[in-house]
Chains A and B, each alone.
Chain A
Amino acid sequence: MKVPGPLKELTHYRSAVFGLLIIGSLIALAIFTVVTIPYDEAIQRWRAGEEMWGDYPRNAVPDWFTLFAGNKLPKTLILSSLDGSVRKESQAVADDMRTADMKFTFDYTSDGFPSELNLFLTGKSAQKKPLATMIWKTPDGRTIPLGDVTVGVAERFAISTDQRLSLKLDGRAPEVGLFAQPGTTAKGMTPVVQKGKYELLVEGLTFEKDSTLDAKLVVYGQAYGWAGTDHRRRDILLALLWGTPIALAFGFLAAVGSTLTTFAIAAIGAWFGGWVDATIQRLTEINSVLPTLPILILVGTFYTRNIWVILGIVIALGIFSLGIKTYRSMFIQVKEMPYIEAAHAYGAGNLRIVFQYMMPKIAPVLIPSFVTLIPSFVFLEASLALLGLGDPLLPTWGKVINEAYTNGALYKGMYYWVLEPAALLMLTGLGFAVVGFALDRIFNPRLREL
């Protein structure tokens, strides 16, 4: 059989095997993503705010940075009275008035400071809101009062942004000042972490019979997950994962939509000739002077940024692309071949001749260019997203780069934010390009000598 020949031959090229491995793993990743994180859930999580991502550190580097950074990147610590990791002690003080004391104790062993410190308080009361007083105890025995707060339904006691506390700590940010060795926080000095057992004491008072008070302490780290987090505390991995099926689907559909239709239209024009051919040629020429990117920007700005509408427009603009001229010149040659004449003589209809006799003859030429075209559409999607015309709902690679760019990731040294999606884009391009080149050499043997 002839058909599996080229595929078998691909394995003779080491580069093609490498490319196939890349494509294969991207496809596997895409399938894995779609199966494990449903579409709706992905969108909902990506668009959620603090209520979803509150416990995640902001702008954290990926976990594997710790391999290079030593012990300087702490992980996030979460202690809560709600899940039982902290005991709550309650004693009656007077009628309906009870204490609710919680002691958050943890060992801090990292050489780096935490990135943020938050205490989340939740209370239940009818009229008289519970009161909480916070006291910080360091390993060397100092106690630092953090203030008090009346707790409504849910209260965020943002220790990190407390200006008055900061003044008490030599002007250092609280998450630094509270964890530094005494004497290293003065101006001009480099604060050094004091390792050891820390304690946060929450002394609560409830004033009603059924009133409750609970607390959760989050000591945010500097590293999180495989891919780190962004400025909205979101796990970038989610966007990288979901970007894969979207990028592949976009690239593949755009390539299929524009090349196959282009191919078929070129064949139809060449076979029927006359006004059909003339119309196709004029449409191609008109289309070739239409600027694709500005049209997409116009649509994105004034109509919609939905990725599937953009895909439709990319395909529509790609149908009458200049490839028609190239394919047509080949089809005009094929059209005059004796086997076409024979098919006509035994009664094959026009469409059968076009689709079953002319197109298979040229198809081998189409395949390599089709494969190399896929990443170019993936890049187009990323370019659009970078221009701020990415899909408003979906997380894509391009949108990650766009958000990194608008938040000055490179100026702030958050290289991972840009490099991770960029690496995936490059990997996609590399995989398809390498396979495309190998296919080109297989289908056009004359290129082999070059």
Chain B
Amino acid sequence: MPANTPSPNNGTLLSIQNLHTWFELRKWGFGRAGYVRAVDGVNFDLGYGEAIAFVGESGCGKSTLAKTMLGIHRPTKGDVIFQGKKLNAFSSQEMQWYHSQVGYVQQDPYGALPPFMNVHRILSEPLLINKVADKDEREQRIRDVMTEVKMTPPDDFLQKFPHMLSGGQQQRVVIARSMIMRPKLIVADEPVSMLDASVRVEILMLLRALQQSHNLAVSYITHDLSTVRYFSERIFVMYAARIVETAPVDDLLREHLHPYTQALMLAIPDPDAKNALTLKEVPPGEPPSLINPPPGCRFHPRCPHVIKGLCDTQEPPAFEPRPKHFVECWLYK
């Protein structure tokens, strides 16, 4: 078992083991020009009813990881194990079942809804695909889920098309659609980043409430550390296709060990008038190319604490300097 996976308390729902998702680059349409290593060796376990958060900047592989968990992308190497069974070994029928067990909440609520379907049809689709044959049961489920996402009375909304709803309402429909098959896991990929600040908290509270009332596991993906606290029990910090630091949310927010996490925390805006005229220190350079990542620790070209001869040659394993707090950094060996 990989090191940075503290066992969840109440059994493992989803286990990600040494996961690699690479995209092939083509040359002249058929030649192989290499790979984009969007997810490159990720390990973690997710328990029943547990909420976790992935943070990291754009292009670090968070969304690819989410889509691999959802079965949209096939892993190049490694495994996604759901309730003890490998996703790769699933038959197409089992895959269909898996799709019903994992809900997906996307970033752009308007884009996530087919513009030519009304809300009723949008919510019926997953039920029809998963062969909920009884019409009354479908209607009942649609009404239940609409009530759960607080779009009441449902009849006011069911005949509407997405463009007739506000952004917050659209996102509620997206959440309702992800909940309608009564999944065990919800993957929420930046669910509030495109919403108005005023409705963000509402949507997060709604997700939190659903998570608690249905004992849902939630994998919350964000680049916004300020919303993480509402939600998750553990935080995974991703950088350049790898998880560099893992800890329970309070531990991580109190003490950030990896130099990248430290930089990330520094970047959180602090509404203090004193800061108006000072520049924040940020690591120099840009995140590395995922086609050809740097050898050793991927952060070493930008790291202020780089150890020459070690960080730039050998990949750091996961160390556990505090209980349940794992970090891939040679500083903690």
Contact = CB atoms under 8 A, between A and B. Distances in A.
Interface of A: 1-2, 337-339, 341-349, 352, 357, 360-361
Contacts of B103: 346
A338 B72 contact: no
A360 B125 CA distance: 15
Given A2-B116, A338-B106, A346 B111 contact: no
A342 to B, nearest CB: 5
Given A347-B100, A347-B129, A338 B116 contact: no
A345 B129 CA distance: 11
B236 interface: no
A352 B126 CA distance: 12
B116 A345 contact: no
Given A337-B111, A339-B111, A361-B114, A345 B70 contact: yes
23 contacts: A338-B106, A338-B107, A338-B111, A339-B112, A339-B114, A339-B115, A341-B104, A341-B106, A342-B112, A342-B177, A345-B70, A345-B72, A345-B102, A346-B104, A346-B181, A347-B100, A347-B126, A347-B130, A348-B125, A349-B129, A357-B114, A361-B114, A361-B116
B113 interface: yes
Interface in B82-129: 95-96, 99-100, 102-104, 106-108, 111-116, 125-126, 129
A63 B67 CA distance: 76
B59 interface: no
B71 interface: yes
B243 to A, nearest CB: 22
B330 interface: no
Nearest to B99: A347
A112 to B, nearest CB: 65
Interface centre among A337, A339, A360 (most CB of B within 10 A): A339
A344 B111 contact: no
B319 interface: no
A2 B114 CA distance: 13
Contact of B106 (A342, A349, A352): A342
Nearest to B106: A338
B161 interface: yes
Interface centre among A338, A343, A346 (most CB of B within 10 A): A346
Nearest to A1: B159
Contacts of A344: 72
A361 B115 contact: yes
Interface centre among B100, B104, B181 (most CB of A within 10 A): B104
Nearest to A3: B116
A342 B104 CA distance: 7
Nearest to A345: B104
A357 B129 CA distance: 13
A342 B115 CA distance: 13
Contact of B177 (A338, A346, A352): A346
Interface centre among A1, A338, A341 (most CB of B within 10 A): A338
Interface centre among A337, A338, A341, A345 (most CB of B within 10 A): A345
B100 A346 contact: yes
Contacts of A343: 114, 125
Nearest to A338: B111
Contacts of B178: 346
Interface of B: 67, 70-72, 95-96, 99-100, 102-104, 106-108, 111-116, 125-126, 129-130, 159, 161, 174, 177-178, 181
Nearest to A358: B114
Contacts of A341: 67, 72, 104, 106
Given A2-B116, A2-B161, A352-B129, A345 B99 contact: yes
A334 B106 CA distance: 16
- Nearest 5 A/B pairs, CB to CB: A347-B99, A338-B111, A345-B104, A346-B126, A338-B112
A352 B131 CA distance: 14
A360 B96 CA distance: 24
A272 to B, nearest CB: 15
Given A345-B104, A346-B177, A347-B126, 5 more contacts: A338-B111, A341-B106, A342-B174, A343-B114, A347-B129
Nearest to A348: B129
Contacts of A352: 129
B158 to A, nearest CB: 13
Contact of B129 (A338, A339, A346, A361): A346
A337 B96 CA distance: 21
A345 B114 contact: no
Contacts of A349: 129
A347 B71 CA distance: 9
B21 to A, nearest CB: 15
Interface centre among B103, B108, B129 (most CB of A within 10 A): B129
Interface centre among A337, A347, A348, A361 (most CB of B within 10 A): A347
Nearest to A349: B129
A328 to B, nearest CB: 16
A339 B96 CA distance: 18
Interface centre among B108, B111, B178 (most CB of A within 10 A): B111
Contacts of A338: 106-108, 111-112
Nearest to A361: B116
A2 B106 CA distance: 25
A343 B161 CA distance: 17
Nearest to B162: A339
A339 B130 contact: no
B116 A360 contact: yes
Nearest to A343: B125
Contacts of B104: 341-342, 345-346
B85 to A, nearest CB: 17
Contacts of A348: 125, 129
Contacts of A2: 116, 161
Contacts of B115: 339, 361
B297 to A, nearest CB: 33
Contact of A346 (B113, B125, B161): B125
Nearest to B96: A347
Contacts of A361: 114-116
A100 B100 CA distance: 97
Contact of B113 (A339, A345, A347, A360): A339
Nearest to B109: A338
B110 to A, nearest CB: 9
Given A339-B113, A361-B116, A345 B100 contact: no
Nearest to B164: A2
Nearest to A344: B72
B258 to A, nearest CB: 31
B175 to A, nearest CB: 12
